[in-house]
Amino acid sequence: MDKKVAVVTGAGAGLGRMFARVLAADGWDLALLGRTRETLEETGCGLVVPCDISDEASVAAAFREVTGHYGRLDLLVNNAGVPGPTGELHTVPPAEWRATFDTNITGTFLCTQQAFEWMAANGGGRIINNGSIAGHSPRAGVAAYAASKAAVASLTVSTSLDGRPYGITATELDIGNARTALLGSFTGSEPMFDATEAARLLVAVASMP
């Protein structure tokens, strides 16, 4: 049998790079999505597909390339995200609020939509969303990020419900304080754990029946 194929967004750094490398070590074929070709190439474990996930045409082209190259798609990991603006609510610039939602929820939706369409026509698959504890237990001063991740949580449930007739499952991972450059902007001196453990969790979920 051909190896299973996973798409990982935001695969050029942080948890996305870690997710991709651990999936590859577990035997998956990978498609690495992200804005910058050079950082995706540095991840070094799959098909490199530069993509702006907030742009509908870019996402559609990326998924055509992936399915055309591999001929299958078994797993989508919606990992790409931005921290967004920090500060009290009345100081948040609306343009930065919109930009946060463009990546964190619209980008997740667009990638989910493309994967869902392929999976529905080809026997099912799995979608894993990198959510956040902030989606249901926010810190002060991160309203845009927290609200966008709450929306991801809702989208995950909707994806799971709509996917049932097609054998498509959807799971959200609320990982917490894994040590990444993104998280450092939120947590300050809070304890953090090795991001490898988060990647092992993702592989375990991806391998479930």
Own/partner pairs, 84-93, CB within 8 angstroms, 24+ separation = 84/142, 84/144, 84/145, 84/148, 85/144, 86/141, 86/142, 86/185, 86/186, 87/141, 88/140, 88/141, 89/143, 92/143, 92/144
Does residue 11 carry a pLDDT above 80? Answer: yes
* The model's pTM: 0.91
Q: Give percent of the chain above pLDDT 70.
A: 94
Q: Which sequence positions are flagged as catalytic?
A: 145
The model's pLDDT over 20-57, given as tens digits with 9 standing for 90+, comes to 999 999 999 999 999 999 999 999 999 999 999 999 99
